[in-house]
Structure 1
């Protein structure tokens, strides 16, 4: 790929600023969140397992953002097609993994609140880790064909520079439809979980009395719905309806999920700041 190409992308300072702000917020927020989750919480909790992997996914995205900032600030890409593809795949993996892990967190909270006794054999760290490994492998395998297609296109591209490769390569419509169907399915799961938990907390007062800080419980579901409706759904719908660089604002919105996810850790977990020993004791008492 050429560093500068006649007729190629020009500097876009506004996007450099936007991605720079997301990076400045997302990098420390997710680094601190991951440190606290690993240091103060037990990985025997399936909820913590999902949140740790969500933080890892968001941290990888934040680490890749300096490259986007440089590209949009200068309009050039000096690192070649391989690094461009790697950076792009990190972004795609974050969007896919984040939406799936958020859905897992939502389902886990549903089981804990609505079916606390019947779900004990399902809500184990072993099952959570199996699900996490499956998700990472699934997303990796799903992105391999697109990476190979993108690599072939960029090698022969004389116009595009990284992140502005629409002149040379576009998403396969079949894959886009698959991802759109997947993200809407996960949104439906989140809506159903939110409805059932809300109904349980309001209608079954005697059973729900054991649930500490019901506002925080519902905040988890509210944050999940915000993430889907603001970050994920617009991007995937845009891939079907928008061509060229007009998709950039939706990419910015989707990237913001790495800044919003830590809010779920900070404000939705009563014991987020407690020591691991205290959390383990509370987990055994539940």
Structure 2
């Protein structure tokens, strides 16, 4: 009994520190990134549109973190069980929307590098906005069944257990919830595969153009973007998606902490291409087509 209580309370301060650090770093990084993208880049580039929406997705996660910090720091939950459900859904939505926007950025870079001329009619602002609208519509549609199932699975029997989940012992009874969890895992694995294939294709294409020394720095930046995308999938999105299905209640919180770090890593996607990020759009249009 004493060991159990120790296990439940001792890590909570560490969780509060991790979520607090993510919030302190993620809020200014994403806010500044969003400001620069909107101020210096008109939303006529598909890449800029995807990055703006990725920053918005991360900011939605960041605004949910103060309540996680409060819970793990004090051991009490001052809001309703519905608020607990909504904040949990914000975290899951971030995994879905961020993973999709990161993949769209990868595919956009793939088309720009491997098929620069043939893909121009695809890489338009109009198509990017349509893709973004479909992504957010998809996220909202998933929220409908998830909003009905999460309250049944959340172990919110008292004020100190928000964000924890009951063990799904009766699969027949919890079938909709399990289906959503499996769906998220399949989604993340599928998108990871797309990113892996994109990375290989871009790497092969750049290797063939290795003698073009004038653009070596740009090539390094492109590959850094793809490498960071893979890191975020493998370290942030995939473990949390697997953990929801396989790990017990108390042991999944470290994976949630790890997954939340993606909102601090995402701005690196913009900073890896500093020339494109800091210059105004009219100075970058030609570079984006290469």
Pair 59,229 (structure 1): closer, same or farther in 2 beyond 3 Å: same
CA deviations over 1:143-167 (Å, ceiling 9, x no partner): 2112112235669835863212436
Any idea what SS the aligned residue of 1:148 has?
A: helix
Quote the Cα distance in structure 2 between the aligned partners of 1:101 and 1:269: 20
CA shift for structure 1 position 276: 3.5
Partner of 2:187: 182
Listed as ranges, the gaps of 5+ residues in structure 2 are none
Listed as ranges, the gaps of 5+ residues in structure 1 are 1-5
Quote the Cα distance in structure 2 between the aligned partners of 1:198 and 1:15: 38
Q: Contact 1:31–1:59 at 8 Å: present in 2 too?
A: yes
Any idea what SS the aligned residue of 1:166 has?
A: coil
Quote the Cα distance in structure 1 between the aligned partners of 2:152 and 2:71: 21
Partner of 1:249: 254
Alignment of 1:88-237 (within 5 A): 88-151=88-151, 157-158=157-158, 161-166=161-166, 172-205=177-210, 213-237=218-242
CA deviations over 1:133-186 (Å, ceiling 9, x no partner): 100110111121121122356698358632124369978222222111111111
Pair 211,108 (structure 1): closer, same or farther in 2 beyond 3 Å: farther
Quote the Cα distance in structure 1 between the aligned partners of 2:213 and 2:88: 44
Partner of 1:3: none
Q: Contact 2:78–2:159 at 8 Å: present in 1 too?
A: no
Quote the Cα distance in structure 2 between the aligned partners of 1:192 and 1:282: 23
Partner of 1:278: 283
Q: Is 1:23 the counterpart of 2:23 in the alignment?
A: yes
Q: Contact 1:22–1:255 at 8 Å: present in 2 too?
A: yes
TM-score by structure 2 length?
0.88
Any idea what SS the aligned residue of 2:284 has?
A: helix
Q: Is 1:266 the counterpart of 2:271 in the alignment?
A: yes
